Amino acid sequence: MSDMEKTEFRLPEGIPAGGRGPESSVDATQQVADRDMEVNLRPKSLDEFIGQPKVRNQLDLVLSGARKRNVTPDHVLLSGPPGLGKTTMAMIIAQEMGSSLRMTSGPALERAGDLAAMLSNLMEGDVLFIDEIHRIARPAEEMLYMAMEDFRIDVIVGKGPGATSIPLEIAPFTLVGATTRSGMLTGPLRDRFGFTAQMEFYDTADLTRVVVRAARILGVGIDDDAAAEIASRSRGTPRIANRLLRRVRDYAEVHGDGHVTLAAAQAALVVFDVDEMGLDRLDRAVLSALIHGHGGGPVGVSTLAIAVGEEPSTVEEVCEPYLVRAGMVARTGRGRVATALAWQHLGLTPPPDAPGQHAV
């Protein structure tokens, strides 16, 4: 089976979760259960999608406009940290347009031929979702330019001097690309998307709605203050909110009647190593490496990654965006710096030159 066949499917069949995230502290069976849960909890329409008001409004306009003119919508790029709903949104776009969704990912498109096979199988109006599009190989990327712009590709047949290029028409389609690293996209590729949606971290009110909705679907009784507590500790991320809900439910079932109260939520979050700011073990390890290991920085991401035993991309894509948004880490030209808030979070007195010293 080729990569394409493995990763491609049509709604409403099986939905690969495609989720990565700070899952290092979770065992394999738990990960499988979490993935099943993700599938059940995915909102299926724009109306059901909580939060991201800006992206939702903009997308609504793009899709309604296309529907009105009876054309396929412009290509859409979804960018933002893991677990904020990019894959979910791609599925919703197909659903809202009543079209089929075909899924693949940048790393699966190693050769231009992989992409050519995928593109030539598209039917008019299909949505092609390429996850992690910043990792697409160069020849495939170049083929994508033409496909996106002119709905046509050149297929090279043969090798060496005898090779010929055969132009091939492809059906008008909508490309939805997702990336956690929009900065790594080349200019020409970025320019070919008609609309870029920047997914932001969720505020606590929206995440509380995510938790309440998930609890309803899972049949878990939960108090409002408990839902708000879980939401406030979820790093602004629905995937984490859903996962914490599940862990808290386990706790409430073992230590009580299964109903989630504020006390149960707080006790469970202590057990699972989530602190009051929502930082998990890896986040705290990064802060600790930055402060204890390097006097608060500046220090490069790769040095931090080695110190915590993770890939630099994990530190950069998973930990750092939230630490920056929480005001604990600042990016500077010379590397990452711990802010006064970070020092205080670890129970330390910040040095006078720590950024944010007077702001806190």
**Rounded Cα gap, residues 22 and 281, in angstroms:** 9
Kindly report whether the peptide bond that precedes residue 321 is cis, defined as omega within 30 degrees of 0: no
Query: Which whole-number Å values give the CA distances from 71 to 62, 64, 283, in the listed order?
Result: 11, 10, 45
| Separation between Cα atoms, residue 243 and residue 280, nearest integer Å | 13
| Closer of 82 and 356 to ligand ATP (Cβ) | 82
Residue 221 interacting with ligand ATP (CB under 6 A): no
Say whether 186 is catalytic.
no
Binding mask 229-248 for ligand ATP (x = CB under 6 A): ---------xx--x------
The Cα–Cα gap between 322 and 339 comes to 14
- Contact flag: residue 87 with ligand ATP (CB under 6 A): yes
Residue 93 contacts residue 195 (beta carbons within 8 Å):
no
Give the nearer residue to ligand ATP in terms of CB position, either 115 or 178: 178
Which positions from 9 to 38 touch ligand ATP by CB under 6 A, shown as an x/- string? Answer: ---------xxxx----------------x
# residues contacting ligand ATP (CB under 6 A): 24
Q: How far is the CB of 180 from ligand ATP (least distance, A)?
A: 5
User: Which residue number, 113 or 312, has a Cβ lying nearer to ligand ATP?
Assistant: 312
Establish if 177 lies at the interface with ligand ATP (CB under 6 A). no
**Which alpha helices (H) appear in the chain, and where do they start and end?**
3-7, 28-41, 53-69, 86-97, 112-120, 138-150, 187-191, 204-218, 224-232, 238-255, 262-271, 281-288, 301-308, 312-314, 320-325, 340-345
Annotated binding-site members for Mg(2+): 87
Residues 108, 140: Cα–Cα separation, whole Å = 10
Stretch near ligand ATP under the rule CB under 6 A, chosen from 44-52, 291-299, 305-313, 326-334: 44-52
Question: How many C-beta atoms surround the C-beta of residue 215 within 10 A?
Answer: 21
41 binds ligand ATP per the rule CB under 6 A? yes
20 binds, among Mg ion, ligand ATP, none (CB under 5 to 8 A by kind): ligand ATP
Residues that bind ligand ATP (CB under 6 A): 18-21, 38, 41-43, 49-51, 82-88, 178, 180, 210, 238-239, 242
